[in-house]
């Protein structure tokens, strides 16, 4: 295999370490792996890991395996497997023919277990889970040997085989490695290798009733697949001696493990267990709820794989845990959509404007740029009529200073159309505004006047007789605190949930050109933000999700520094 070398000074610490391994001859190729557990959906933190595992292999002309760690059948299923594969492909990575499952190696893993038993390095233990914890000791006190630790090889082999045959109930016995109960590393204090679980496996049915623990199966999978570099987050640093011990006792090859920081993002919870809890308890509407930090949730909200990969790259590489600012993620999607999203007109909270001097029944069409930065995308024709909708917030009867939008007696520009001046306001009996009446200046067609006069306010609009009714879902951050776990006494992380993370607007008005919009289509709704067509859309009832508002707090902060 041809490997690609890069100037070392331009590399992050992971790539620098791998480059050094190749130059020293320790390895002559690069093989990484991404090992997700199929017990949930990928989130933005996983996207960072995917970009590391697949990206590093790609950079060095190597290969990255996709291996599902499916060793706990109580929490795993095909839905999660398929969703994870879909997300990885959507992010732009491919494992080609290297799709593996830890359960593919169950027989080999079991044979290795018997080998350790025969070598006197593993034993069957009858302690309960609570007793195992009690015997393990603490960070400051050594553990205590199990009374079953010195069973003979023959007895251990017999019990292990009977465990596999299903003779014993759940939790009654475990297989443990015989290492050192006084080790300062708690992971080395006779860790459990197998537990009894009479639970069908989603791929193997009832073939097994004992299942390997993660720490036992993980390193074996790497070895079997010929992985050269096992890239893990820092949470596995203390597990590395255990992985090495297992592989050394079996005298089989093992990769070099290198740890990197665990990544978090402000205003997000990146724990599959807690994300599952929010789904199961109805705090969100499924794993792909656009409020969720899952890859599928971000996709449904309108995030692009390019923006997520850009975000992952800008996060950089660290050995210490780090927290990325969600504003950076929002900045990345704004930059991407600013270039790719065509423009469209949409009024979220409509207020009718009637131009009294505009001919009744007349319709004009204005040529409007589909994208001001990309003239090659051409123009579209937008209808204009006597009655249009503007945003409610674009009109005030008694405006404050420096309010440049529409108010009684004030002239404003309707984007790409005409100058209009408010002449009167129509209200109902309770004083609520029903509609605004204006006059238009026919000499200002296209948004400019022959006499050169200027106005400070430009409003977007939609023709009332041509507008489509639409549903708009306005999404905000799911949590109100930067760190959702930073709560007051007697509160939980769920108390950080943002009750205003979703606002649904019905009866919004959008231009007729969006009648055939398809799920996943992106738009910049002028003066509003970037939106994406939701899969709930139907003909006659388009639904759009707010991806991100136009305002970019990250860019403003960076410009000040």
Q: What is the pLDDT of residues 469-496, one digit of tens each?
A: 999 999 999 999 999 999 888 889 999 9
The residue-averaged pLDDT of 239-250 equals 97
Each residue of 34-56: b (16+ CB within 10 Å) or e? Answer: bbbbbbbbbbbbbbbbbbbbbbb
**352 included as an active-site residue:** no
pLDDT tens digits for 37-96? 999 999 999 999 999 999 999 999 999 999 999 999 999 999 999 999 999 999 999 999
Structure confidence at residue 2 (pLDDT): 46
Count of other CB atoms within 10 angstroms of residue 80: 22
Alpha-carbon distance of 78 to 35, in angstroms, equals 15
Q: Would strands 192-196 and 210-212 be described as parallel, antiparallel, or unpaired?
A: antiparallel
The single-letter DSSP state of residue 289 is -
Alpha-carbon distance of 295 to 46, in angstroms, equals 9
Task: Kindly indicate the confidence band of residue 556, based on its pLDDT and cuts at 50, 70 and 90.
Answer: low
Residue 479 has, within 13 A of its CA and on its CB side, a CA count of 23
Task: Kindly indicate the confidence band of residue 11, based on its pLDDT and cuts at 50, 70 and 90.
Answer: confident
Structure tokens at 312: 């992952």
pLDDT exceeds 60 at position 1: no
Task: Kindly indicate the confidence band of residue 448, based on its pLDDT and cuts at 50, 70 and 90.
Answer: confident
Q: Would strands 229-233 and 256-260 be described as parallel, antiparallel, or unpaired?
A: parallel
Task: State percent of the chain over pLDDT 70.
Answer: 96
Please tell me which residue in 173, 178, 195, 272 is annotated as part of the active site.
Answer: 272
* 70 contacts 102 by C-beta, under 8 angstroms: yes
Task: State percent of the chain over pLDDT 90.
Answer: 91
Structure tokens at 99: 């799709």
Nearest to 390 by CA among 509, 528, 507: 509
Q: Give the helix ranges, DSSP H, for 302-383.
A: 305-315, 326-340
Count of other CB atoms within 10 angstroms of residue 57: 25
Alpha-carbon distance of 463 to 478, in angstroms, equals 35
Q: What is the pTM of this model?
A: 0.92
Helix (H, G, I), strand (E, B) or coil at 91: helix
- Say how far residue 142 (Cα) sits from the centre of its chain: 41
Please tell me which residue in 262, 410, 413, 473 is annotated as part of the active site.
Answer: 262
**151 included as an active-site residue:** no
The residue-averaged pLDDT of 383-403 equals 95
* 204 contacts 78 by C-beta, under 8 angstroms: no
Nearest to 23 by CA among 50, 48, 45, 4: 4
Q: How large is the angle between the packed helices 305-315 and 78-91, nearest 10 degrees? A: 80
pLDDT exceeds 70 at position 5: no
Structure confidence at residue 9 (pLDDT): 55
Task: Give the residue carrying structure tokens 């409509």.
Answer: 350
Q: Give the helix ranges, DSSP H, for 488-528.
A: none
Rg (CA), the chain: 31
pLDDT exceeds 80 at position 22: yes
Contacting residues for 88 by C-beta, under 8 A, at least 6 apart? 34, 42, 50, 54, 66, 94, 95
Structure tokens at 207: 């073939």
**262 included as an active-site residue:** yes
Phi/psi for 161 (5° steps) reads -65, -35
Count of other CB atoms within 10 angstroms of residue 538: 8
Alpha-carbon distance of 339 to 336, in angstroms, equals 6
Q: Look over the chain and give the mean of its residue pLDDT values, rounded to a whole number.
A: 94
Structure confidence at residue 560 (pLDDT): 57
Structure confidence at residue 91 (pLDDT): 98
List 33's β-bridge partners, or say none: 65
Structure confidence at residue 250 (pLDDT): 97
Nearest to 477 by CA among 500, 495, 494, 493: 500
Alpha-carbon distance of 224 to 106, in angstroms, equals 12
In order of their start, the domains of the chain are: 8-260 (3.40.50.620), 272-342+471-560 (2.40.240.10), 346-460 (2.40.240.10)
pLDDT exceeds 60 at position 410: yes
């Amino acid at each position: 295999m041809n490997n690609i070398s890069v100037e070392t000074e331009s590399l992050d610490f992971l790539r620098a370490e791998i480059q050094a391994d190749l130059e020293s001859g320790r390895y002559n190729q690069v093989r990484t792996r991404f090992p997700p557990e199929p017990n949930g959906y990928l989130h933005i933190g996983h996207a960072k890991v995917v970009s590391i595992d697949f990206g590093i292999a790609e950079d060095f002309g190597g290969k990255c395996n996709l291996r599902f760690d499916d060793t706990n059948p109580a929490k795993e299923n095909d839905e999660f497997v398929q969703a994870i594969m879909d997300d990885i492909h959507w992010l732009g990575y491919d494992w080609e023919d290297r799709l593996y499952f830890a359960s593919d190696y169950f027989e080999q893993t079991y044979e290795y277990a018997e080998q350790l038993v025969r070598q006197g390095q593993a034993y069957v233990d009858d302690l309960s889970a609570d007793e195992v914890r009690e015997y393990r000791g603490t960070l400051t006190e050594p553990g205590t040997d199990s009374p079953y630790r010195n069973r003979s090889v023959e007895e251990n082999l017999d019990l292990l085989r009977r465990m596999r045959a299903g003779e014993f109930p759940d939790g009654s016995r475990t297989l443990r490695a015989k290492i050192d109960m006084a080790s300062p590393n708690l992971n080395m204090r006779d860790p459990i290798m197998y537990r009894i679980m009479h639970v069908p496996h989603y791929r193997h049915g009832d073939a097994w009733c004992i299942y390997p623990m993660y720490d036992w199966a993980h390193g074996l999978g790497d070895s079997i697949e010929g992985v050269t570099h096992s890239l893990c987050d820092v949470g596995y640093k203390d597990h590395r001696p255990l992985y090495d011990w297992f592989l050394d006792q079996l005298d089989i090859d093992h990769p070099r493990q290198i740890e990197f920081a665990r990544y978090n993002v402000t205003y997000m919870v990146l724990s599959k267990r807690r994300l599952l809890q929010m789904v199961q308890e109805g705090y969100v509407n499924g794993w792909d709820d656009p409020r969720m930090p899952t890859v599928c949730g971000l996709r449904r909200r309108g995030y692009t794989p390019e923006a997520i990969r850009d975000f992952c790259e800008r996060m950089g590489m660290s050995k210490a845990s780090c927290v990325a600012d969600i504003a950076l993620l929002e900045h990345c999607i704004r930059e991407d959509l600013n270039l790719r999203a065509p423009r469209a007109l949409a009024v979220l909270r409509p207020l009718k404007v009637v131009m009294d001097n505009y001919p009744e029944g007349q319709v004009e069409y204005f040529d409007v740029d589909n994208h001001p930065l990309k003239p090659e995308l051409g123009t579209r024709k937008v209808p204009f009529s006597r009655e249009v909708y503007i945003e409610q917030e674009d009109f005030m009867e008694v405006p404050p200073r420096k309010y440049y939008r529409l108010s009684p007696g004030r002239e404003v520009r309707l984007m790409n159309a005409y100058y209009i001046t408010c002449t009167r306001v129509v209200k109902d009996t309770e004083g609520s505004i029903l509609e605004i009446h204006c006059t238009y200046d026919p000499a200002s067609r296209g948004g400019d006047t022959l006499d050169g006069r200027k106005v400070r306010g430009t409003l977007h609009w939609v023709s009332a007789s041509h507008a489509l009714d639409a549903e708009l879902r306005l999404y905000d951050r799911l949590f109100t605190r930067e760190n959702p776990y930073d709560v007051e006494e007697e509160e939980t992380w769920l108390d950080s949930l943002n009750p205003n993370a979703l606002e649904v607007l019905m009866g919004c008005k959008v231009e007729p050109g969006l009648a055939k919009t398809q799920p996943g289509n992106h738009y910049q709704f002028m003066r509003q933000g970037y939106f994406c067509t939701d899969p709930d859309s139907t003909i006659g009832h388009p639904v759009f999700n707010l991806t991100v508002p136009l305002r970019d707090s990250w860019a403003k902060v960076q410009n000040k520094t």
